Chain A
Amino acid sequence: MSGTNADTETEASVSTQSTWRDFLDEIRYNPLTLAGTLIVAFLFAVAIVGPVLTPYDPTSQDLANGLQPPSLAHPFGTDQLGRDMLTRIVYGARFSLGIAIAVTSIRVVLGTTVGLVAGYVGGWVDEFLMRLVDIQLAFPGLILALVIAGVLGPSLRNVMIALAIVGWATYARVVRGNVLSVKERDYVAASRLLGTPPRRITKRHLLPNAINPVIVLATLNLGTVVLATAGLSFLGLGAQPPTPEWGTMLASGRNHLRDAWWIVNIPGVAIMLTVLGFNLLGDGLRDTLDPKQQSRLEEI
């Protein structure tokens, strides 16, 4: 039963099931994944249509109305310069999500390419690329990003560049590891026996079978990038006032911890919810895409 060759000559009754269908099942059976999906969908909706709906301008000051606690007119209150917090949070979603997607995309493309090349070519190319990866991973990421952003000058664009430079190595490692194991599979040998050139083997066999962990990692990474962006801005190296960026907003509440709790806490909650959404979604994707989980059932 739980033996090695779990071969039952069963006419598998499952119809063609796509990954997509698996994921829908995951959403149905795992409330956490459902929550993650809803949070992420909601955030994207807010980022896209939110700014159209808010009556206020995110940067126009109204000093007379400063430090207003949450009310009907200002559901999230106002900051020390009298700007509507809700409006600023809504605009801030655009920055956070935009940067997260941009940075993660760059990391994925860069890291996957390096990992594929290192894993498939091997030899000294592998050795060289992996030492590059080691070097990148030898820096505590945020500190390196801090320096890069600081050297290039504080701005959101430079934050993006800094974070992209910092995070690709993990993907390279994961992809290389996967390629190395997939490369040894017999279906790759079968393809080699046909004389299939390496490029087509990579495209047809290696990439599709090595990409699942990358999707999971990337989803979880979106959350990490949101955190890092906010962190850099919090330190003053990212978005500059009056940009409605969550980390910057949070930092500006430093002097009002006692009298205006909402200034730090509302951006804090926004950041946490976003990261939580991506984490929940990433966990759900892992359940769907990680074959280990599926083999659990087969063991019974």
Chain B
Amino acid sequence: MSYVLYRLATAVVVLFGVSLVTFGFVHATPGDPAETILIEQTGQQPSSEAVEEFREAEGMNDPVHHQYVDWVTGAVHGDLGQSYFSDAEVSSLILDDLYNTLELAVASILVALVIAVPTGIASAIHQGQPIDVTSQIGALIGVSMPNFWLGYLLIIVFALNLNMFPVAGSGGLEHLILPAIALGTGMAAIVTRLVRTSMLEVIDQEYIDTARSKGLKERIVVYKHALRNALIPVVTVVGLQLGFVLNGAVVIEIVFQRPGLGNLLVDAIFARNYPVVQGVVLVAAVTFVVSNLLVDLSYRYLDPRIKLGESQQ
């Protein structure tokens, strides 16, 4: 129990740091955002009175730490401020797009697991044989391929030439499949390699010989005794890969012109729409921290050697 509390406490510390960094970066920007925004909004050089008025209205003249406290207090209550360019609440903008991004993330993780776990096991069991060599080379290529290029390749082949899927947009399964494959492949490659290594390591352990010495069939030795142990590190990495998926989602959403947090973020960055940028980064980081926390705690559940309540190491 106390480990959970300790872990929660560090998560809070990390989130505090995250908010500080997010806020800090945006406020350390060269140039006056107020002026930039007014130029953007009106299309002409604003008068210094207009700039001053805007700054006052947006709270930009308050001391920095006040602005930070206001922002964090708001964030905790689900209020991330307002977009500079519309009356929309940042939080509602994010909520609108969050679903799309999560849908893509979950789909691509599924794609990755469906490919990776069986391939990794087969690869480990048949170490050095053709199936292993093929899957290892496949995994290496998968790891090395930029996902935006894979996205275009998929579009060229399946959307433009075979007309099986739409080129872009969102809604429905047919809009999800290509992006999920483009995003899931890289992760599949990583997880395949991991399952293979983990499996090979476990198969070398003496308790596997114990299982064999009992007269168990090899199939049961592999799928009961080895797999359960081999999956422990895999779960951790898959959890941590959520960050990887969020990174990739930004790019893939651009490739497939899919609405989502990625599109929102990139647009906001170019428009210097800071409340939105801050909001998206904060949400991404919180998602990431929380998922890491969950993985860490579930890891302790999966591995009886690590009891809840024990300290690290």
Contacts and interface: CB of A to CB of B under 8 A. Distances in A.
Interface in A132-161: 132, 134-135, 138-144, 146-148, 150-153
B146 A276 contact: no
A258 B155 CA distance: 9
Interface in B225-242: none
B152 A272 contact: no
Contact of A231 (B13, B26, B148, B285): B148
A127 to B, nearest CB: 10
Interface SS of B by simple majority? helix
B246 A135 contact: no
Contact of A237 (B269, B288, B292): B269
A145 B244 CA distance: 13
Most chain A beta-carbon neighbours within 10 Å: one of B29, B140, B155, B266: B140
A148 B281 CA distance: 11
B14 A134 contact: yes
Given A236-B270, A268-B153, A280 B140 contact: yes
A234 B251 contact: yes
Interface residues of A, number: 46
A135 B250 contact: no
A140 B153 contact: no
B105 to A, nearest CB: 11
Contacts of B289: 138
Contacts of A152: 29-30
A265 B144 contact: no
Chain B residues touching A, range: 35 or more
Interface in B151-180: 152-153, 155-156, 160
B152 A131 contact: no
Contacts of A164: none
Interface of A: 32, 131-132, 134-135, 138-144, 146-148, 150-153, 223, 227, 230-231, 234-237, 247, 250, 253-254, 257-258, 261, 264-265, 267-268, 271-273, 275-276, 279-280, 283
B60 interface: no
B153 A142 contact: no
Contacts of B183: none
Contact of A143 (B26, B247, B292): B247
A178 to B, nearest CB: 14
A26 to B, nearest CB: 16
The 10 tightest CB contacts between A and B, nearest first, are A268-B149, A150-B269, A142-B247, A135-B17, A275-B144, A276-B144, A140-B243, A140-B246, A134-B14, A264-B152
